[in-house]
Each structure stands twice: as C-alpha cells, then as structure tokens.
Chain A
Amino acid sequence: MTDSFVLSIEKLCKQVPSTDADDATPLTILQDISCNIRRSDTVAIIGPSGSGKSTLLGLMAGLDNASSGKIWIEGVDLFALSEDERARLRGAKLGFVFQSFQLLPNLTALENVMLPLEIGGRKDAQEVAASVLARVGLQKRLRHYPRQLSGGEQQRVAIARAFAPSPSLLLADEPTGNLDQHTGENVIELLFELHREQGATLILVTHDDNLAQRCQRRLELINGMLQSTG
C-alpha cells in the first residue's frame, strides 16, 4: 500500500444471516474483494442488479461493517475505527451522493449544503455553501426547500453538499438513477467538472454504460465477486 492509493480493499467479504428458515447458511453478498484506487482516479462500479454494488459502496464509506477483510482510506484502517471515529472520518474525507438525493426536507438548499460544514465546525459554513451552490448553478435557489426544486436541481444540491467540505473521496450511488436522460447527463457533467476542479477521487455505482465509459477504471461485480478491472 502506498500513499498514492486513496482507498485500498483487501479480501473484503460481506455475509448476512439467511432469512430462510430451512437453510441457515449465511447469504454471501460480497466475496473476497481486493483492489486499490489511486488518488484522483474516476472509478465506475458496474454489474447487474443484486450483484452487491451498493453494499460495496456502503462499506467503502464505513456505513456498514464487513464480515471479514479490510478497507483503508488514506492509510486509515476503516474497520479498526469506532462508529463515531468513522463518522468523523466521513466528515473530513468523504462525500456521498445518493440516487434518491437524501436532502433534509425541512432545510433550505443552502442549509442542506451547510449541514456537513456546520457539523465539521466550520465558521464560514454559510459562505462556502453559498459559493458551492453558485458553482452548481443554484445561486437563485438558496432559500428554496427540496420540495420546491426539480429532481435535477435536488441532485445538484446533493452534489454541492458532497463537494462543499472538499473531500478527498467522493462516493456516488447511481447519481442519475432518478433523473431523465438529459438531466442525468448535465448532473454527470457537473460531477466530472467538480472532480477535475477539486482533484477528489470519484467512485460511482452505475447501470449506465456511457457513464461507466467516461471513468478511468471500471470494476465489475457479478454475484458478489469482482470480475474484471479495466
């Protein structure tokens, strides 16, 4: 493992208890995954439904615990950290964009973007949030609530929220899954632009071949196993 790897995965396995009463064998979601991802890379995780893409992404963010194996983020062993330490690591180094946006409905666009900055104790939360929102073209939507925004606009707020604390690693779970093609393309364009500007590593889960093609690397998952790396 060298410093040039922002993320390293070693023999990662994820099993969940079976819900089948007759067969108590645990269900394997991910099996023996290992890979290294370099700083500033763009990586697409692809594969059919149920292949474990989102589970892998969740594990990379430390949102869940692995059954075995390890993940390092910038040299820090993710699973050696307590839940709270992981939360702090996420706040400092990770950004997350969800398929379903996950904006807080009772906060304005500006307040949603301010949230991670406020949690991180940034005094300039409001200025930073406003400038990132301006960067994603929503300078006129600062005081709007999520329900007053279109799907594309909501996802742009989510992207602004993910980029606002300047993370070194950005994880996106099917970021265009809930958007029409045209809007989806605009959102992807924005993601790549911000990636270029900030130099963050971008890892995204997608079904979209075109999107996968734009990434420098592709990791294909089939039945929980990493099939190929490109």
Chain B
Amino acid sequence: MNHLYFSLRMLRRDIRAGELRVLLMALVVAVASVTSVGFFTDRIQQALRLQANELLAADLVVTADHPIPEGYLAQARRAKLQSVMLFQFRTMVFAGNHNSLAEIKVAGNGYPLRGKVKITDAPLMLDREVQAVPAPGTLWVEEDLLRRLELNVGATLEVGARRFVIAHIITYEPDRSGGFFSIAPRILMHSDDLPGTGLIQEGSRVHYQLLVAGTPEQVRRFQDVIGTKLQRGERIIDVTDSRQEVKEALNRSNQFLGLAALVSVMLAGVAVAMASRRHVSRHLDNCAIMRCVGARQADITRVYTYEMLWLGLIAVLTGCVVGYLAHAVLIELLAVLFVTKLPAATLWPVVYGLFTGMVSLLGFAVPPLLHLQNVPTLRVLRRELGMLRAPTLSVYGIAIVCMVLLLLVQARDLRLGLFVLGGLVATIALLVGMALLMVRLLRNFTNGAGAAWRFGVANVARRARGSVIQVLAFGVGIMALMLLTLVRSELLVGWQQRLPPDTPNRFIINMQKDQLAGMQQFFSRQNLAVPQTYPMVRGRLTAINDQAVSADNYEDARTKRLVEREFNLSWAEDLQADNKLVAGKWWHKSARYDAQFSIEEDIAGHMGVKVGDTLTYDIAGETLRAHVTSVRKVQWDSFKANFFVLVPPGILDAYPASYITSFYLPDVNLPMLAQLVRQFPNFTVVDISAIMDKIRMIVQRVTDAVEYVFLFTLAAGVMVLYAAIQASHDERVKESAIIRTLGAGRRQLISGLVAEFFLIGMLAGVIAALAASLISFVVADRVLQIPFTFNPWIWLWGLLGGGVGVGLAGFLGTRGILNRPPLQTLRKAEM
C-alpha cells in the first residue's frame, strides 16, 4: 500500500469527521504563539544588523561625562580622520506660554559622519535624507515637540537665552535608531549656537561625544592611541558595543516573551496529548479491522505516524500564518521602543515554529499512537481486548524532555532556563497537589444535597485524574484572564495612588549658588511655597578602603556604570523624612566639618560597602577621604531630591556646587516656568509628570505585550477545556444512556452535568485566584515595591466566574449527548 497517500486520505477523513479538530487547533495555537514572538524579534534583529554601521553615525565614538580633552581631537586630525563633536543634554524649551522638556543634540558641520539624517517640512509628509545639521539660528525638532507646544514649522522657539526658528521636522537620526526611547522630544542644533544659549555651566549634566570616521586602519590606529589615554568617565564605543546594548535589551524581551509563549506551548501539549489519546482510543477498532483485512503492524504504525506528520505540517503552516498576523500587534506595542523602520522577516521563525510544532506533536501525540500497532486483530470479535492503558509518566518522557529542551533554547541562558523550569515544576506540583486535595475533599460534600449535585460531585471525584487536569487547565486559563483584567489595573492604580497629590512634579537642576536668593524671591512673588534646595558636588569614587576602584572589579553592568560615572555628593544636617537609617548612626549637629559619609543602601550593596569602610573621592582634582558612618534606605519615588552619598555640612563648601530642588506646581501656575527660565536661562526644569507618563506608557506597553502573549495561553487553556470535555464525552454518552434507561429525566441529567462542570470551574477558580494572588504579590512586593493589598474580589470572581463559565461551557459541550436516544447509544456501545 502507498502509506503516504493512504495516510493523507485518512487525515482528510478524520478531519472531516471532526476527530482531529482539537489536535489541529492546539498545535496552531502553540506554533502561533512562538512564531508571533519569533517574527517580532527576528525583524528587529534584522533592522539592527542592517543599521549596524549607522548606529553610531560614525565608525568610532569617544564619550565622556566631561568635555572631551583637546588632545583627542588633535589626535583624530593627525590621523586624518573625519571628526565632529556632539553635546547632548536636556533642558526646558519655551514657545509663548507653552513649555516642554527637550533632549538637545548639538552638532557641528560634518555630522553625521555615517548614515543620513531624515527631515521633512510638515507632519505626515514624506521625509528626505540629508547629510547636514541645521544652519546657525535654526533648529530641527521632532514632531512631538510641535504638537506639545502647538507650533508649526517656521515658528520661534526659546532655548536657554536664545530664540531659534524651527526650520524642519526631524524624523530620523542614525545614531538614535538603536538608542531606545527618549523621555522628551528631540532637537538638533548647530554647535555655533550653543555658547549663546548659556545652557552649559559648571556642574551641568552634559553628555560629550567625539565622533570619528575613516578607513578601518586609521580608525584602529586612533583607537589604539586613545585607548591608552582614557581617563575616568571616558569610554570608546565601536559598532559592536553599540549594538550590544540594544541586542541585550532585545534578547531580554525575547527571553521573557518567548518563555510566556512557551507556557501556551506546554498547555497546548496537554491538549494535544488528551486529544490524541482520544483519537487513538477511537481508532482501536479501525486498527483491528485494518489488520483483519490485511494491514501489517508496520503499515498501521506508518500510516498513523504519517497522518500525524501531515497534520503537523498543516498546523505549523497555519500557525505560522496566524503568528505572522499576530506579530504585527507586538510590533505596534513594542517596536517604538526599539527602532522605527523594520525590514521583512526571515524564515527562521518558521523553522522555529516547525520545530516547536513537531516537538509538541511527536512528543505528546505519538506515544499513544504507538499503542495502535499492538491492537490484537481478535478485537474484531472481542472488543475488550487491546484497550488503551492509562498514560504513564514514562510514555510522555520524550515530550517532557523535548519541552525542557525548548525551554532551555528559549531562555538562552542555562541558569534562567533552569530557574524557570524549577519554578514551573514547583508551581505545577503545588497546583496538582491542591487540585487533588480539593477533588478528594469533595467526596465529603454530598450529604443532604440533591441527586443532581451528588451525581456531579461523584463524577468529579470518580474521574479524579481527568478532573485534576481540567481544574489545572481551566485554572491557568482563568488566571491569565484575571491577570489581564483585575490584577493588572489594581496594581497600576495602586502604584499611581500611593503618590500624594502634592508630590513634587518638577525638578530644577543646574542652579548656581548666587542664583538661589533670586530663585527664592521669584517663588515668593508668585505666592508659591519656597522649595528647599540641595547642593550637589560632582565627585568620582577612586578607592574603597584605600584600594583603587575600577569597573573591572565588578561583574554587574549596573555597578560598572555606577563606578565609572561621577556621583552627586550632597550635604545635610538632618536625615530627610523619606530616608531611613538601616545601619550605623546619623551624625550629630556638632559634626559640622567632621568628614564622614552616609551611603544609600542599594548602591552600598552593589559596591560591597558597609559601615566602617573608607571611601576616597576625587572632587575637581582634590581628594576627600572619610569613613562610612551610616547606610540609608531612600524612598526614591517620593520625588524629592535624594542622593547616594551625603556628608555633614561644611565639608564640601570649598568645592564648586550646583543646586537642585523639587516642588509641586499646579497646572494653573505653568506660565510662571517660562518667566523663571527667562530669568535664569541655565536652569533645567524637568517635568516629572511627563517623565512619569512616559515611564507609565512604557510599563503599559511592556505589560500589554506580555499580556498579549498570554492571550495565546488563554486560547491554549480553552483547547485543554475542549479536549477534556471531548475526552470524557464517549463515557458520558454511555453513562447518560444507562441512567436514562434507569428512569432519570432529561432535567436530572442536565443538572448533574452542570453541577459537575460548575464544581470543576469553582475549583479551577480557587486555583486561579491563588496563582494570581501569588503573582500580584510578587509584582507588588518585588517589582513595583508597593504594599500588597489582599483582594477578596479575585476569589469571589474565581469561584463564581469559574463555576458559571466552565459550567456553561461544559453544558454546551456535552448537551449533544442528551439529544441522543438511549437505545441507539447502548446498541452502539455493544457494537
């Protein structure tokens, strides 16, 4: 016989008979969930690869948190490299009564050295590429800024002490494409205009860059020379470095979205296993008859395996199409955080989808199929022969191994993979244990109840194994639903509400000492409370316990950055209300001029510093060495000015300081900001609420994306529900026929069925509420760091929603059996 052809015909017949629908749909869900994430990351990776040489707008960049030494520029010129200086900083810009925070990039002629800038003349118009910077006296701004300030191209914008004409809208900067999102709209300015704005003063936070480009040999030589001269706070970035950061962020998102997608694959695997078991048990007779009419064992194995492979192929292709369509939503949600324009996807996600689909199919569907070849031919005469045995763990060993492999591949990190695996196994064990316990306990709840209830309870308890699987599957599905709705909004609201209404919403930085009195008078004149100001002195940590500190001493990327950059040191006489001592003692008022440090808990932990250690700072070329006498916990989101390192008053008097303040500004007083900055052009006013909005938007987008991927989990949960209902369908049909023969009415049967599914739904609801509460506790406590509030509604919703929802679904799924005459059923069962 032609096995391939025969199996294809068999597949067609089985699909037509509705036998393989659940199997097919579960596989489609599994493949769609992994490919949607796959297509998304693939396209972004493509974009990054294509733009690699543009990511820097140069071949090499030297960055610094202080002005680039003249020697570097001279060296670049000697090496005959093209070069250009960049300055980037944030400041407030004004147009009439409107103002906004903006990110300003100041560039000289020649920028960009690699790639092109894209500009346009009006919103939504086609943009064009230019290799230029704005002419002096003009600016190119992002469209977002025009919208915020209600301006058009050609309007005037105040930046610092100068006025500029907006010449174009900027739509693309090559060295920004990989640079994530910005918290404020961007402006490009010519470097000749910078001194006139008066924006850069002592202590201003500016990011300095020297861009160079040339032949690879020239660039390499320059890199070799400068590499030996680098000072603290200076860094060389080449193309691979700049890609690395974006790549890491992308890998992380891929890891987590991918792992979320794998939860659907695992659930779908359960549905596949259940559906294929049913498929096999319905095909026992077929196999016996096929053997009876001449098929060999090998024919049976081959035909059924080929049938599964055909099915897998159809499912994978359909899943890839669904995944491709679905990934557009992920792009919509997340791509703005990465890059703007995306190239077409490659075929790799399809390969991965094929791999996942086939692994789930072969791992979960084939083990029961192998039983078919052993069906004795005599079954045609004696039906009790060759029944399917209860599944054992060893049968699904291959599937479990495959799933673990998929998990590790997706995690791309052995530790993370094993961590997730451990968590998953522990969670499943806990939930299975709970579900089993509840199913067992149920048996005690039959006294005094009606017959229907008793029948339903007995059914749940009797089919304990099936009930536990159903409870778990529904549980995970309902949990996904709860996280999508109740928990999420509750957490976000909780996070926002904990800030009192008068929480500071504006910061002013870059204030100089001689401007403080003027600023305070300004506030008094406006009848606003005069805000408290804090001094900031920039210093660099050079030694801990007299051992030189270097970024190389630390593994963690964040600590490396903390060590490399300049710190803001400040002084205070008293401990601020939003600070709490966790170790050591706060200094006494008499400690003025007595050098000592109080350090923030988190940074102390990262750098391994404790009370009694000695820290040495380099401040403007001078050394400050002292002991740490206390460690503080800081409530950062009080939005008051806070510092990692504090000293008693008097110690830093001799050093150049700038001042910072935070205050609450009601919206009605917004125009006063424009006056303030006109009076003090070097002040940078930061709109915290705008930043908060931006952060909220990002948090929202990321949670949306994760939840979106969880929608596949929900779909897979529905597949398990459907497969579970189908799995017990034949048995139910027979049972109900017998019960009806014994005199039970239609109504009694319906009540029994509904009671059974209602119970399963309620148990699932309890499991879901428990899991959702656990997750929200972890998110509240660990991620958002807000007090966890117990939500009784989750439990009520879980119990009632689960009961009613699953009860209804179960009833709809099984009501067909009630319409069948019992005699027909019984005669069929005899056959």
Q: A interface vs B, CB < 8 Å?
A: 54, 57-58, 61-64, 83-84, 87-92, 96, 98, 100-102, 104-107, 111, 115-116, 118-121, 161, 165, 173
Contact = CB atoms under 8 A, between A and B. Distances in A.
A98 B382 CA distance: 11
A105 B380 CA distance: 14
Given A104-B285, A106-B14, A119 B830 contact: no
A111 B13 contact: yes
Given A58-B381, A106-B14, A92 B294 contact: yes
B377 interface: yes
A102 B289 contact: yes
Contacts of A116: 293-294
Nearest to A145: B17
Given A87-B377, A104-B285, A119 B292 contact: no
Contacts of B830: 100
Given A101-B831, A121-B1, A106 B17 contact: yes
Given A100-B831, A102-B285, A119-B290, A63 B378 contact: yes
Nearest to B5: A118
Interface stretch (B92-100, B295-303, B481-489): B295-303
Given A100-B830, A115-B290, A87 B296 contact: yes
A96 B294 contact: no
Nearest to B827: A178
B828 to A, nearest CB: 8
Contacts of B381: 54, 57-58, 63, 98, 173
Contacts of B640: none
Given A63-B376, A102-B289, A119-B295, 9 more contacts: A63-B292, A63-B380, A83-B296, A98-B381, A102-B380, A104-B289, A106-B282, A118-B6, A119-B290
Contacts of A120: 1, 294
A61 B285 CA distance: 17
Contacts of B533: none
A100 B294 CA distance: 19
Nearest to A83: B297
A105 B730 CA distance: 14
B19 interface: yes
A117 to B, nearest CB: 9
B447 interface: no
Nearest to B381: A58
Nearest to B293: A116
B293 A84 contact: no
B228 interface: no
Contacts of B286: 104
Nearest to A90: B294
27 contacts: A61-B292, A63-B377, A63-B378, A63-B381, A87-B295, A88-B294, A90-B292, A91-B294, A92-B294, A96-B292, A98-B381, A100-B831, A101-B831, A102-B289, A102-B292, A106-B282, A115-B290, A116-B293, A118-B9, A119-B290, A119-B293, A119-B294, A120-B1, A120-B294, A121-B1, A121-B2, A165-B294
Contacts of B19: 106
A117 B13 CA distance: 17
B3 to A, nearest CB: 10
Contacts, number: 84
A163 to B, nearest CB: 12
A96 B296 contact: no
B291 interface: yes
A104 B16 CA distance: 14
A88 B296 contact: yes
B380 A87 contact: no
A105 B18 CA distance: 12
A115 B293 contact: yes
Interface residues of B, number: 30
A223 B563 CA distance: 97
A4 to B, nearest CB: 25
A83 B378 CA distance: 12
Contacts of B289: 102, 104, 115
Contacts of B299: 119
B378 to A, nearest CB: 5
Given A87-B291, A88-B296, A104-B289, A119 B380 contact: no
Contact of B1 (A54, A107, A118, A161): A118
Contacts of B14: 106
A165 B282 CA distance: 26
A64 to B, nearest CB: 5
B597 to A, nearest CB: 80
A180 to B, nearest CB: 13
Nearest to B6: A118
Given A100-B830, A118-B6, A64 B378 contact: yes
A200 to B, nearest CB: 15
Contacts of A173: 381
A104 B295 CA distance: 15
B380 A98 contact: yes
A58 B378 contact: yes
Contacts of A96: 292-293, 380
Interface in B331-381: 376-378, 380-381
B311 to A, nearest CB: 15
Contacts of B378: 58, 63-64
A165 to B, nearest CB: 8
B281 to A, nearest CB: 13
Contacts of B293: 90-91, 96, 115-116, 119, 161, 165
B172 to A, nearest CB: 59
Interface in B84-132: none
Contact of A91 (B295, B297, B376, B380): B295
A101 B828 CA distance: 11
Given A63-B292, A115-B289, A84 B297 contact: yes
Contacts of B285: 102, 104
Nearest to B17: A106
A228 B380 CA distance: 28
B296 A84 contact: yes
Contacts of B295: 87, 91, 119
A57 B298 CA distance: 25
A122 B289 CA distance: 18
B644 to A, nearest CB: 72
Interface string B808-831: 000000000000000000000011
Contacts of A91: 293-295
Contacts of B282: 106
Contacts of A104: 285-286, 289
A89 B293 CA distance: 9
A119 B289 CA distance: 11
A91 B16 CA distance: 27
A14 B756 CA distance: 47
A227 to B, nearest CB: 23
Which 5 pairs of residues, A with B, have the shortest CB-CB distance? Answer: A91-B294, A106-B17, A116-B293, A84-B296, A100-B831
Contact of A84 (B1, B6, B298): B298
